[in-house]
Amino acid sequence: MNLKGATAIAGLGITKQGKVFHTNQIGLAIEAVQLALDDAGLTRGDLDGLLLNPGLSWADQGMGSFQLQQAMGLHDLKLSVTMNAGGATACAMIQHAAQAIAAGLCSTVACVFSDAPLKPPKPKGEGKAGGGSAGAYGFARGLDAAYGQFGVNAMYAMVAQRHMHLYGTTNDHFGAIAVAQRRWANLNPAAEFCGTPMTIEDYHRSRWVVEPFHLFDCCLVSNGGLAVIVTSAERARNLKQPPVYIWGMGQGHPGGDPSERLASGAGMARDIAFRMAGIGLKDIDVVELYDCYTFTVLVCLEDYGFCAKGEGGPFVADGKTGPGGSLPVNTGGGQLSSFYMWGMTPVSEGVIQVRGAGGKRQVPNVKSALVSGNGGILSTHSTLVLSNQPS
């Protein structure tokens, strides 16, 4: 069964993003769902499915989707699951919602992410180690720290360093991505860095977090919530917003050691999604790539086939991914410069561009958007193709 155009994203809800302290992750999730329902012209009672990607602050709470159901008084859900494939979850949630709807298992599903890792300002203390999925890569917990390796930034940096060594990728290349995305953010009133321009010199002057990553190679950390409503294409046509049709979907989780592969699962996921959509790269008008780091964007551009493996650096060096460039990438500023809602940031910008609602940053004549999610260290991947055309 080909699901091309069978379902659509009918509602989008984005809460205030960044240093948002008025409520916790559950409150932010509820706000996001309410905003998405309002956007679609639906009410709470119309939902019969709920998929939740819990952010870090949900960590000690089991059964997140049930907790959210109870907290917002949803009844008689036919689908309720908490999902976590890291940054790949957002597109994967939408995929599974679309599949369930197309199979007739349910009709209208809210896909939600929320997180509140930032705490209100307080006296500065020691940083803390991250690296929640470290064990999966075969690094011994506790042993890394003995050698001074802390957090995911450091683990990702190891992989980036290999790419630089093997392919000649440089910080100028990473910086070209950071600057391009900042230029997009400067056109996006919802971006945390909207009012803050950045030059390549600013990029190089930004402090090192862990070489080869400068501060501006790393995504923001944001409190907030973000939800979309997925429903059948038929129903979406009768709702408030122009439907954002789901043309293609796919996942790719290669396994093994990312520092050996230096590639994500994007190629796998692309093949599945593009086959469903019946399109090729030339049919893509805007690209919204998961960007935990500049490096991740560079690798995924290679893996989707916009350039050859290893040529991502020279490919982005001329700024073609920025406003006015030949390949618009992360047109809201992405997670580097707008806000970090895991994979929901690229999803939301894909929806906005396909609707033609991007204001000053709107890319002209957008029909189709490529949206990606990437989790772990180049280890989980998901792809969506979105379009404003029914088929």
Partner 1 sequence: MSYAKPIPTITPDMKPFFDAAKRHELVVQRCRQCGTHRFPAREICSQCLSRESEWVQVSGLGEVFSYNVMHQVYQAGFAAEVPYAVVVVKLREGPKLVSNLVGVPPHDIKIGAPVRVVFEDITDEVTLPKFTPA
Give yes or no for residue 194 binding partner 1 (CB under 8 A). no
- Confirm or reject binding of residue 123 to partner 1 (CB under 8 A): no
143: contact with partner 1 by CB under 8 A: yes
Q: Tell the smallest beta-carbon distance from residue 199 to partner 1 (Å).
A: 22
Pick 257 or 285: Cβ nearer partner 1: 257
Distances (CA, A) of 303 to 20, 269, 298, 372: 35, 10, 9, 11
Query: Cβ–Cβ contacts within 10 Å for residue 128, how many?
Result: 7
151 or 333: CB nearest partner 1: 151
Stretch that binds partner 1, among 6-14, 46-54, 159-167, 273-281 (CB under 8 A): 159-167
Contact by Cβ (8 Å): 134, 155: yes
DSSP 3-state assignment of 380? Answer: strand
Can you tell me which of 139, 253, 317, 362 binds partner 1, judged by CB under 8 A?
A: 139
List binders of partner 1 among 238-257 (CB under 8 A).
257
Q: Please, are residues 291 and 174 in contact by the beta-carbon 8 Å criterion?
A: no
Q: Count the neighbouring beta carbons within 10 Å of the beta carbon of residue 41.
A: 14
Q: Would you state the structure tokens that stand for residue 136, as one six-digit string?
A: 């999966």
Minimum gap (Å) between residue 124 Cβ and partner 1: 12
| Residue 145 contacts partner 1 per CB under 8 A | yes
Site size toward partner 1 (CB under 8 A) is: 32
Instruction: Write b or e for each residue in 286-319: b if 16 or more Cβ atoms lie within 10 A of its Cβ, otherwise e.
Output: bbbbbbbbbbbbbbbbbbbebbeebbbbbbbeeb
127: contact with partner 1 by CB under 8 A: yes
CA torsion angle 134 137 139 140 (round to 10):
70
Query: Per CB under 8 A, which region of 124-132, 224-232, 283-291, 299-307 contacts partner 1?
Result: 124-132
Q: Which of 167, 290, 293, 304 is catalytic?
A: 290
Is 142 among the residues that bind partner 1 (CB under 8 A)? yes
Residues of this chain that interact with partner 1 (CB under 8 A) are 126-129, 138-140, 142-151, 154, 157-159, 161-162, 165, 207-212, 257, 259
Catalytic positions: 290, 340
